[in-house]
Structure 1
Amino acid sequence: MGASAAGIGLASFGSSIHRPIDEQLARSAVGYLTPSQQEAKSIELSKSRDTDQDGLSDYDEQNVYRTSAYLKDSDSDGIDDKTEVLAGNDPNCPLGKECGRGSGYEAFARPATIAVPEPPQAPILASAPTSFRSTEELEAYFKSISPEELRAALIQAGLPKEAVDSMDDQALRDLFDKTVKDAVAAGQFTDVLPPSAP
């Protein structure tokens, strides 16, 4: 009898230890996730969350562009990250600086899953001469364009109006001048430049 009482006491003791755990699991078993499930859920949430409200998801900022998900302008040059990405610039390198590969630039590449729309024919060129004699003449023409015309052209090309309006005239001019120089270097103005233009 003493042995059976000890056996029942041990069983009761074991059940007293397990009961709070079993009750907790019964209440929250629906929401229980393994660590790998929690990580997958966190990744999915970051794909739809934009903490700094710059137009890039937290996932893209952390895993694609290597920018801060908490700063609208990761490189503090006055141009938000999404505008720099759409312009083809490194959002980790301030406009006008040469950062090279040390700034995380090697991670800055448009992933195949992000569709960047082709800009329409540049409205700024509509009033331009039909051709230019040199790249310097082309660049001089672009430098003569007013900030208001630049803003209108960028908005028409698909950049968010809020992003364009948030840039001061000098930042806007710097971004545009760099984009023109890059486009000339990439041969994107061959239709308005003669084949032998320097």
Structure 2
Amino acid sequence: LPGARNLILFVVAFELMGLPLVLMAAWPKTEDADGPGRKAPEAALKLYVVSAASTAITGMGMALLFGASGSLALADLAGAPQTPLLWLGLFTVIAGLSFKVGAVPFHQWVPDTYEGAPTPVVGFLSVAPKAAGLAAFALILLEAFGSAQARWLPVMLFLTVITLVVGNALAVPQNDAKRLLAYSGIAQIGYMLIAV
């Protein structure tokens, strides 16, 4: 994903990353109090629905970017005319990537998915998709829209601050270790978005 310099490759890479994660989350576990593996299918379904919605939103944003620039290459987006269609496309891509990384207000799937998935998968889910999503954020924002930072920076600052505040505030009252990890991970995304 970080090596993609083409909008189509981004969509394909997200799908190739998302589908194995769904299968891993569906793997039955044995530590459920209400029976072995009861929550794993629910966690996998939530992850699948969010992954599909995120890919659809990101794909729609990329289609808008293509319509505004006439090219699929990130380098060509940097020189595209600054039209409202271009900015709508960029902000739609930001929303889609926010779903992938679990940034607020697109974080609702994270605690339920972490709670239902097997413990080793939770560790992987808390790192791999977030790292790929943050790399995509950095690549798109800095390579394709680095010269227009004044336009997208306020949106990213709002996303960062609200993710930090909500993630930390919701982590405090948690009693379940996996839900605590989920909300802590949401807050960590806020810290990582500062770098972007």
TM-score by length of 2: 0.23
Larger Rg: 1
Structure with larger RCO (C-alpha < 8 A, sep 6+): 2
More helix by share: 2
